[in-house]
C-alpha cells in the first residue's frame, strides 16, 4: 500500500469527505459518462457526487501515460497498459484531487447530470460457481443432500462461457426471457416466458493485461492481471435452466442479460481489504495454489422493490470474503489449458451465498425453489421475480472513517415479448 490509501486523506471535492460516501479519494473508480450538453461518452473517475473528466484532464496535460489513453469511450486502453501505469495514474489522480491541490472544478460534472455507460468493452464473459454454500444449497435442492457437491468441485473452479453481447450497465431494463420449459408433470416441453426469473448476486473481475495463447498462468500472475471489480447480477431463468443444463450446463437460461455496475473499482483501491478465504481441503493442484490473502472483504446487499411501491425490501446481506475459489484462482484455471485471456474479459464470481438464511444470493435459495415465499415490506410475497420488480445490488468495503463503494447494479424487469 502507499500514500493513496491513507485513511486521513481528504479531497477538495467536499462531498467525497463524508464517512458514508461511496467514492472518497481513497477509491477513485473508473467509468464512462456523458452529459446532455456533451453527448459523446468519455472516461471519468468518480469523486464524491462528481465525475472527473479524464479526457479533459488528459487534454490539459494533467495526467501521465502519454496522449490517447482516454480518447475512446472505454477504459480498455488504460487497462492494457499494465500495473505500473495503473499505479502511476492512481497516484496522479489522488494528488490532483486531495486537499491542498489546485481545485479544478471545470473538470467536474455532477453525478446528477451524468448518464453512465458500460465502463469497458467486454471482450468475453465467463461465469464461475465458486461459493461452497451456494453450490451445496443447489446440489441439495436438485440432487442428493449427502453428496451435494459434484466430485470435481473441490478440485477446480467450475465455470462456463457466457455472452458478452448481453452484458449491460446498471439501470438497463431487463425483458423477461422466453425459452424451452418442461415442468415435471408434462411429457413435452413448451416455449414460454420464464415463470422462475431470478438474480445471482456476484462480483465481476475485470482482466486488464492480456495473456498469450498457450501460456498458462500462476495464481500470482493472474492476480496481477486483474484491473478491478464490478458488481454483477447474472439474471437467471431457473425453469429454463433446469431443463437445458444437462449435459453441457447453462445456456439460454443465462444468456439473455447480465447487469454490471458502472464503476470499476481498481484492485489497488481494494488492497487494504484483502483477507484470507476459507481453508481449501483438499489442497488444490500446484497451479491453483495461492499465497497470502486473495479474497476481499466486500459487504454486499440486495434489495427488491415492486412496481408502484416506494420502499425497497432488503432480501440479502452477505460478504465476498467467504468465496471458496478466489478470482485469481479462477483466472489461473481459465488460462490453465492455454486459453488466451484478453483485456476486457469479465469473470463472474458465481452466486455469493453465506451460511445464514438472509445471506443467500439468489431467490432460488432464499425461497428454496419457491417453497418458502419471501415477505416484502409492502406486504406482498415473492417466490421469484415478477414484472415491474426492481432488483438492486450494492456493495462496499468499510475502512477507518471511509468506505470504498461500488455504487449499484440495478435493473427493472419488463414483461416478456409476445410468444
Catalytically annotated residues: 134
Task: Please tell me the distance from the alpha carbon of residue 56 to that of residue 37, in angstroms, as a whole number.
Answer: 15
Provide the 10 A C-beta neighbour count for residue 379.
7
Output DSSP code: residue 102: P
Cα angle: 32, vertex 16, 12; to 5 degrees = 100
Phi, psi of 133 (to 5 degrees): -65, -45
Which residues lie below 8 Å from residue 160, measured CB to CB, with a gap of 6+?
Answer: 126, 127, 249, 250
Q: What phi and psi values does residue 113 have, to the nearest 5 degrees? A: -100, 0
3-class secondary structure per residue, the chain: CCHHHCCCCCECCHHHHCCCCCCCCCCCCEEEEEECCEEEEEEEEEECCEEEEHHHHHHCCCCCCCCCCCCCCCCHHHHHCCHHHHHHHHHHHHHHHECCCCCCHHHEEEHHHEEEECCCCCCCEEEECCCHHHHHHHHHHHCCHHHCCCCCCCCCCCEEECCHHHEEECCCCEECCEEEECCCCCCCCEEEECCCEECCEEEEEEECCCCCCCCCCCHHHHHHHEEEEEEEECCEEHHHHHHHCCCCCCCHHHHCCEEECCCEEECCCCHHHEECCCCCCCCCCHHHCCCCCCEECCEEEEEEECCCCCCCEEEEEEEHHHCCCCHHHHHHHHHCCCCCCCCCCEEECCCCCCCCHHHCCCHHHHCCCCCCCEECCCCCEECCCCCCCEEEEEEEEECCCCEEEEEEEEEEEECCCCC
| Nearest residue to 333 via CA among 218, 161, 213 | 218
Amino acid at each position: 500500500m502507499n500514500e493513496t490509501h491513507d485513511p486521513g486523506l481528504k479531497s477538495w471535492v467536499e462531498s467525497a469527505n463524508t464517512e458514508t460516501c461511496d467514492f472518497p479519494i481513497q477509491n477513485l473508480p473508473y467509468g464512462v459518462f456523458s452529459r446532455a450538453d456533451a453527448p459523446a461518452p468519455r472516461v471519468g473517475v468518480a469523486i464524491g457526487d462528481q465525475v472527473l473528466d479524464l479526457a479533459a484532464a488528459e487534454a490539459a496535460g494533467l495526467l501521465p501515460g502519454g496522449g490517447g489513453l482516454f480518447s475512446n469511450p472505454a477504459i480498455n486502453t488504460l487497462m492494457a497498459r499494465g500495473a505500473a501505469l495503473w499505479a502511476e495514474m492512481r497516484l496522479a489522480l489522488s494528488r490532483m484531487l486531495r486537499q491542498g491541490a489546485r481545485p479544478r472544478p471545470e473538470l467536474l460534472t455532477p453525478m446528477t447530470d451524468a448518464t453512465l455507460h458500460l465502463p469497458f468493452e467486454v471482450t468475453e464473459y465467463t461465469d464461475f460457481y465458486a461459493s461452497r454454500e451456494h453450490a451445496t444449497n443447489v446440489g441439495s435442492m436438485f440432487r442428493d443432500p449427502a453428496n451435494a457437491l459434484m466430485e470435481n468441485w473441490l478440485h477446480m473452479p467450475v465455470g462456463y462461457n457466457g455472452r458478452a453481447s448481453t452484458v449491460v450497465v446498471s439501470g438497463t431494463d431487463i425483458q423477461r426471457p422466453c425459452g424451452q420449459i418442461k415442468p415435471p408433470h408434462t411429457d413435452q416441453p413448451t416455449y414460454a416466458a420464464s415463470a422462475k426469473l431470478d438474480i445471482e448476486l456476484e462480483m465481476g473481475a475485470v482482466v486488464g493485461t492480456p495473456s498469450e495463447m498457450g501460456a498458462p498462468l500462476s495464481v500470482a500472475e493472474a492476480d496481477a492481471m486483474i484491473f478491478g471489480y464490478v458488481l454483477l447480477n447474472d439474471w437467471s431463468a431457473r425453469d429454463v435452466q433446469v431443463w437445458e443444463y444437462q449435459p453441457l450446463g447453462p445456456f439460454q437460461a443465462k444468456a439473455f442479460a447480465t447487469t454490471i455496475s458502472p464503476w470499476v473499482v481498481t484492485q489497488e483501491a481494494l488492497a487494504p481489504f484483502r483477507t484470507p478465504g476459507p481453508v481449501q481441503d483438499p489442497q488444490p493442484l500446484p497451479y491453483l495454489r495461492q499465497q497470502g490473502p486473495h479474497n476481499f472483504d466486500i459487504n454486499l446487499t440486495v434489495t427488491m422493490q415492486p412496481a408502484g411501491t416506494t420502499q425497497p425490501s432488503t432480501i440479502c446481506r452477505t460478504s465476498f470474503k467467504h468465496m471458496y475459489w478466489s478470482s485469481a484462482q479462477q483466472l489461473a484455471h481459465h488460462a490453465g489449458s492455454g486459453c488466451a485471456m484478453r483485456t476486457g474479459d469479465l469473470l463472474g464470481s458465481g452466486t455469493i451465498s453465506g451460511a445464514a438464511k438472509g445471506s443467500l444470493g439468489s431467490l432460488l435459495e432464499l425461497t428454496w425453489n419457491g417453497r418458502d415465499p419471501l415477505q416484502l415490506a409492502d406486504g406482498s410475497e415473492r417466490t421469484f421475480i415478477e414484472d415491474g420488480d426492481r432488483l438492486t445490488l450494492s456493495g462496499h468495503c468499510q475502512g477507518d472513517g471511509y468506505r470504498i463503494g461500488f455504487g449499484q447494479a440495478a435493473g427493472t424487469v419488463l414483461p416478456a415479448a409476445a410468444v
